[in-house]
């Protein structure tokens, strides 16, 4: 079999993406029905009945007292930071989606990037603690790839030092650490319902908390800061979720368990096959509690595999396997943050090392087992052609830079 990069036909005739949304027929039918209700009511946004019901059910599922639905997770985080009236430095992992850092800066707070634990790829509590100064006001942990970070260790630090603690739970819908469900850690957590997420509502997010004051304030902030119909008490924003997004969420809720099981089967199929290839190791998921298995994440050891992660990913794209390097580069290596915080930028060796080796493989709710089989064959085949692939990649990159 000749790899597509070396002139063979691509392994797939259509692109396979990370997180392509697949909406079940039953979900679509219920969504259309709920939208008919919304049209009949002539009420399409602004804290409508679908949003209210959605909030009640998402809060219940995550075992928290309060849930505020928001238009996306980035705005949810911005609202939450404002609701907490923070000022100073916020410690967060560099290894997360850039939105988490942007939201901090958007609120005129200073992001201070911490390193991650090599095994979990999530915030290393010891490093977090070493970064705390008199200017630190908050810590944000991020639960990644369907795993929950070491939230109890971060809670202990935050409690001891009187810091606010939030969690980016964009990847952690329905996940738990032991019997503690995501939603109840720290002061508050925020979810993402982006289309590529485990639970998508086109765009969407939510703030989960057990703190009535944070909830009350967040609800006003998402509605321009209105306290009553004609009284604005705060610098609010438009963070409202539409009835359409809430309807999508309500229509998807009955399928949560089935989706987790489908994802788990794909995760296991990938793990068995890719995990058996020398030089490839797999991120364990769901070992500490419930996971939604939304991502299949592996690492490339370039010595044992014979090729770097970057050459492998380039080769996979030629095969229509659109693997991603989430979250490379870490925020601390992005031009925007480097230019802004040049002097203060810390060295984060684990973030750099994990970022150089990580690959997220395509996955969705209707991913046939034969596709995981075929992808593993392609990865093995690329490995078998390692020397030619390195040469191809060098030529390809120099052609790209000269054109």
Q: Which residues bind ligand T4K (CB under 6 A)?
A: 17-21, 72-74, 96-97, 99-100, 142, 168, 170-171, 192, 194-196, 205, 322, 326
- Rounded CA-CA distance 30/245 in Å is 13
- Rounded CA-CA distance 171/197 in Å is 7
Nearer to ligand T4K, 79 or 383 (CB): 79
Of the candidates 78, 104, 82, which has an alpha carbon nearest to the alpha carbon of residue 93? 104
Nearer to ligand T4K, 17 or 253 (CB): 17
Q: In whole angstroms, how far apart are CA 136 and each of 88, 114, 237, 263?
A: 6, 13, 26, 39
Q: What are the φ and ψ backbone dihedral angles of 363, each rounded to 5 degrees?
A: -160, 145
To ligand T4K, the closest distance from the beta carbon of 173 in angstroms equals 11
Take residue 279 and report the two structure tokens written for it. 């030089």
HSE-CB of 163 using CA atoms within 13 angstroms: 27
To ligand T4K, the closest distance from the beta carbon of 255 in angstroms equals 18
Would strands 226-228 and 231-232 be described as parallel, antiparallel, or unpaired?
antiparallel
To ligand T4K, the closest distance from the beta carbon of 203 in angstroms equals 6
To ligand T4K, the closest distance from the beta carbon of 231 in angstroms equals 29
The SS3 call for residue 17 is strand
Nearer to ligand T4K, 201 or 381 (CB): 201
95 secondary structure, DSSP code:
S
Nearer to ligand T4K, 170 or 316 (CB): 170
Nearer to ligand T4K, 199 or 305 (CB): 199
- Rounded CA-CA distance 8/2 in Å is 5
Nearer to ligand T4K, 183 or 306 (CB): 183
């Amino acid at each position: 079999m000749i790899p597509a990069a070396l002139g063979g036909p691509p392994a797939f005739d259509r692109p396979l993406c990370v997180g392509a949304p697949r909406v079940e027929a039953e979900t679509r039918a219920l969504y259309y029905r709920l939208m008919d209700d919304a049209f009949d009511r002539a009420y399409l946004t602004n804290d409508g009945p679908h949003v209210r019901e959605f909030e009640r059910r998402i809060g219940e599922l995550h075992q928290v007292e309060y849930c505020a639905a928001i238009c996306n997770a980035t705005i949810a985080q911005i609202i939450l930071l404002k609701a907490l009236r923070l000022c100073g430095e916020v410690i967060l992992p560099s290894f997360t989606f850039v939105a988490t850092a942007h939201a901090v800066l958007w609120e005129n707070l200073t992001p201070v990037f911490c390193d991650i634990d090599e095994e979990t790829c999530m915030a290393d509590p010891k490093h977090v603690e070493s970064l705390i100064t008199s200017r630190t006001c908050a810590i944000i942990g991020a639960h990644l790839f369907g795993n929950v970070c070491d939230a109890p260790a971060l809670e202990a630090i935050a409690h001891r030092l009187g810091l606010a603690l939030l969690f980016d739970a964009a990847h952690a819908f329905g996940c738990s650490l032991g019997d503690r469900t995501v939603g109840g850690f720290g002061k508050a957590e925020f979810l993402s319902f982006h289309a590529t997420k485990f639970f998508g509502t086109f765009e969407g997010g939510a703030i989960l908390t057990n703190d009535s004051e944070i909830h009350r304030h967040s609800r006003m902030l998402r509605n321009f800061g209105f306290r009553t119909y004609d009284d604005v008490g705060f610098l609010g924003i438009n963070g409202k979720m539409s009835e359409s997004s809430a309807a999508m969420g309500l229509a998807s809720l009955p399928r949560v368990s089935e989706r987790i099981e489908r994802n788990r089967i794909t995760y296991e199929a990938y793990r068995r096959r890719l995990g058996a290839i020398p030089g490839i190791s797999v991120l364990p998921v769901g070992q500490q509690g419930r996971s939604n298995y939304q991502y299949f994440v592996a690492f490339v050891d370039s010595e044992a595999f014979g090729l770097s992660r970057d050459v492998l990913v380039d080769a996979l794209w030629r095969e229509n396997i659109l693997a991603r390097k989430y979250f490379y580069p870490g925020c601390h290596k992005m031009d925007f943050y480097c230019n802004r915080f040049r002097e203060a930028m810390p060295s984060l060796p684990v973030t750099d090392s994990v970022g150089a080796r990580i690959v997220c493989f395509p996955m969705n709710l209707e991913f046939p087992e034969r596709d995981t089989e075929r992808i593993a064959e392609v990865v093995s085949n690329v490995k078998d052609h390692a020397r030619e692939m390195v040469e191809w990649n060098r030529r390809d990159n120099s052609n790209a830079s000269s054109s």
